[in-house]
Amino acid sequence: MSRILVTGALGQLGSELTAELRNIYGAGNVIATDIREPNEQIGEGPFEHLDVMDKARIEEVIEKYDVTIIYHLAALLSANAEQNINLAWKLNMDGLLNVLSIAREKNLERIFWPSSIAVFGPDATKKNTPQNTPTNPTTVYGITKVAGEQWCAYFYNKFGVDVRSLRYPGLIGYKSLPGGGTTDYAVDIYHKALAGETFSCFLKNDTALPMMYMSDAVKSTIELMQADEEKIKVRTSYNVAAISFTPEEIAGSIQKQIPDFEIEYEPDYRQEIASSWPDSIDDSAARNDWGWKHEFDLDKMTEDILKNLPNVIEKAES
Ligand code: NAD
């Protein structure tokens, strides 16, 4: 039986992925870890305080639980990374190298590590960005993701470590707050809409970015990890896509449900990051190789969030 360890399990993605992994594999077989204190969102099950920059501590937890699979999510995200470039490099690189080295030394079954559309820079094709196109990012976060992809391919090719990766677009969920990325506006906007407030957007009205609803992100991750090994042909990281929209378009989708909702635009330093990224992504390799298919379009996502977010806010306030 596989035993799974999740790093950064209390983050925006980690909390939903951990809960779903516990549904599938049993709570006792999924060990949530983070440097923060645990919350109830990840559900019942083992939790360990673990800093991914501490290799000996990762080894200790792996031995304690006989871990065979790691979902390594802990990282500093794009906007926060620009504010602390040294920590971003250290956390995003040392954490990954620790996990890959341990996977090699202990012959672990499988590793998941997320990359990002931030690997692309201004010279990448903007629309339907292909799987293989220049990766010359202009952010430190993007630099760590490009280097990380190459480390994953290296550990697979040299040492046979079965590490799999996805280049996520901006992830949008309502169950937890985002961790300082450039696409966070697309989560905050729903909170303001439900509070009856005008939303001040830190991007310009027509900035299109690739995005994905959290349930699709969780689905893509688990499907990639469950796919037969011979289907995984890309060993850097797969492009994955679902939807692409501008702030004006997401506001329009919300206005279909809340007609009085208003948005205004006050672009800040995150506009520059967003402008360097693709508008939309070509993920045909993921669709062809292991059958990726997204479920949520913009309006379906908006309906789902506006239906469920009020309960989450009410619970948090009680
Ligand atoms: P997040 O910031 O919400 O969560 C990261 C978690 O890592 C936090 O709970 C934090 O406490 C923890 N952490 C920080 N430093 C740590 C350390 N030293 N040791 C252990 N844990 C530590 O991020 P997220 O949105 O959940 O993203 C998860 C992964 O997905 C990251 O690798 C990120 O780069 C990638 N990703 C996210 C998005 C997105 O839109 N959220 C898009 C592309 C890629």
Residue 77, pLDDT > 90, answer: yes
Atom of ligand 1 nearest to the CA of 15: 26
Q: What pLDDT is recorded for position 314?
A: 87
On whether both 133 and 225 belong to a single domain, the answer is yes
To the nearest whole percent, how much of the chain has pLDDT over 70? 100
Average of per-residue pLDDT across 76-90: 94
On whether both 92 and 219 belong to a single domain, the answer is yes
User: Which residue numbers are catalytic?
Assistant: 141
What CATH number should be reported for the domain holding residue 307? 3.40.50.720
On whether both 37 and 135 belong to a single domain, the answer is yes
On whether both 87 and 199 belong to a single domain, the answer is no
On whether both 164 and 96 belong to a single domain, the answer is yes
User: Nearest C-alpha to atom 28 of ligand 1 is from which residue?
Assistant: 73
- Tell me how far the alpha carbon of residue 179 lies from the centroid of ligand 1, in angstroms: 7
Phi, psi values for residue 171, rounded to 5°: -100, 130
On whether both 178 and 161 belong to a single domain, the answer is no
176 Cβ inside 6 Å of ligand 1: no
User: Nearest C-alpha to atom 35 of ligand 1 is from which residue?
Assistant: 114
Residue 41, pLDDT > 90, answer: no
Average pLDDT, the chain: 95
On whether both 152 and 204 belong to a single domain, the answer is no
On whether both 76 and 221 belong to a single domain, the answer is yes
On whether both 77 and 29 belong to a single domain, the answer is yes
73 Cβ inside 6 Å of ligand 1: yes
Q: What pLDDT is recorded for position 286?
A: 98
Atom of ligand 1 nearest to the CA of 177: 3
| Ligand 1 pocket: which of 15, 34, 177 to mutate (most atoms within 8 A of CB) | 34
On whether both 152 and 203 belong to a single domain, the answer is no
- Tell me how far the alpha carbon of residue 260 lies from the centroid of ligand 1, in angstroms: 34
Pairing assessment for the beta strands 199-201 and 263-265 based on DSSP bridges: parallel
35 Cβ inside 6 Å of ligand 1: yes
On whether both 107 and 160 belong to a single domain, the answer is yes
Q: What pLDDT is recorded for position 118?
A: 95
Q: Where does a domain end: 222, 239, 256?
A: 239
302 Cβ inside 6 Å of ligand 1: no
pTM of this structure: 0.96
74 Cβ inside 6 Å of ligand 1: yes
Q: Let me know: does 112 contact 165? Beta carbons within 8 Å.
A: yes
Q: Is the dihedral of CA 60, 66, 68, 71 positive or negative?
A: negative
Q: CA 2, CA 32: separation in Å to the nearest integer?
A: 15
Atom of ligand 1 nearest to the CA of 77: 34
Average of per-residue pLDDT across 111-123: 96
Sheet holding 69-72: strands in order across? 47-49, 30-34, 4-7, 69-72, 110-116, 163-168, 238-239
The boundaries of the domain holding residue 100 are 4-169+213-239
| Tens-place pLDDT, residues 226-246 | 999 999 999 999 999 999 999
On whether both 196 and 231 belong to a single domain, the answer is no
How many domains in the chain?
Answer: 2
Q: What pLDDT is recorded for position 173?
A: 93
Q: What pLDDT is recorded for position 316?
A: 81
Q: Let me know: does 156 contact 53? Beta carbons within 8 Å.
A: no
